[in-house]
Every structure is written in C-alpha cells, then in structure tokens.
Amino acid sequence: MANAHIFFRTLNTPKSDSDYATSTLMSARADSDTHTDLGYSLKVNQQVLAFDISDYILESVAEQYENNVIDIPVPTSDGTRKINKQENGLRSRTLTIKGIFRNKTDSDIEKLERMRQIPQVDTTHKYGVIGFYSPNAERFSLDPDGNAGYTLVNTTIGYMGSAKKRYDFMVTLSFGGTVESIGG
C-alpha cells in the first residue's frame, strides 16, 4: 500500500487552516514552520508519518466493528430456555495498521512514539487527534475535526532479522464520533 499517512492534529494545526488542510500539506511544510503546542516546540512536518513503497511500507489495514448487543437470559417457570437481546448501539470501531520501516531511522520511530504520548483529545478534536490517510484505503481515511477522529490505543514496534535495519510495527486506532449510516 503506497502513499499513506498516520498523523496528528493540534490546536494550532486544525484542518480548517488552509496551510494545514491535508496531511500532505502538513508533511510538505518547511522545518522552520514550528509552533508551541503540547508544552514544547513542534515542527509541523514531524506530525506526519508518511509511508511510500521504498523504505516505509504500510502492509495492511484492518477494521474491527463491534456492536453493543447484550444477551439477557430470561428465566421461565416451565424450564424453557430463552435469551432476549438488548440493542445498545456501537461498542467500538478500531483500525489496526501494520507495516515496516525497512531502513530504520530513529526520527520515524520517534514520530510514532510522539503520537502515542501526546494527549489523544483536545478542545477542538474532542473525538480524537489522530488521522489516517491512504488513497488505496479511502474507506478508512479520516482527518480529525470536531465531528470525528481516531485515538491511538496501542503500538507495537520490534525489529526483524539479525541486522537491526527492518523494524515492524502495529498501531491500533480507535474511532470516536458518529458513524455515518449506510443507505438511506
């Protein structure tokens, strides 16, 4: 899968600002484009972890959608077995992203580490500050705003092989906001 981004937004980089309207624009910003947010100076282009075909490969994206339906056992005097169902909407919607850093660079691993350490919501992005973009997986792409976003639930980073040049990773993102209904 090529040309994918995992990124985060801050109060100073909302998608409503034309300079930061997309993760591609954020990634292309000069090193001099910094802001003080989250208690430290931050380069905007360091908010985007970009994947391409060569060295940073996004291998798979999988969604897990879980309804919140509760089984309610009902006792009956005649011994009949019965279970009622209670519909409680959506329990969770998560995205699991797996990939490889083929030629390990500490700065890219540091981007992922920074993403997992930042506050996952703020006053502008109340459902999550993490975004995901891939033209090959558009149904999972989401740029966080006041209506929807992802939070980073967990990350796994490890190396593969005897030479520490191939690092694999797994990221789990949790959706927050309103899920749009299908159909009409």
Retrieve residue 74's tokens: 């009902």
Q: If residue 27 lies in a helix (H) or strand (E), which one and from where to where? A: helix 23-27
CA 26 to chain centre: 16
| Position 125 in a domain | yes
User: What SS3 class is residue 143?
Assistant: coil
The answer on pLDDT for 1 being more than 60 is no
Give residue 25's pLDDT. 84
| Position 84 in a domain | no
Give residue 104's pLDDT. 57
> What would the pLDDT profile of 104-155 be if each residue is shown by its tens digit?
566 778 888 889 999 999 999 999 999 999 888 888 999 999 899 999 999 9
Question: Total domain count for the chain?
Answer: 1
DSSP 179: P
| Position 37 in a domain | yes
The answer on pLDDT for 161 being more than 80 is no
> What would the pLDDT profile of 25-62 be if each residue is shown by its tens digit?
888 887 777 777 666 667 787 888 888 766 667 788 99
Range of the domain at 52: 4-65+89-177
Look at 176 and 178; give whichever has higher pLDDT.
Answer: 176
Q: How far apart are alpha carbons 129 and 176 in whole angstroms?
A: 10
Give residue 164's pLDDT. 64
100 in Cβ contact with 106 (< 8 Å): no
| Position 105 in a domain | yes
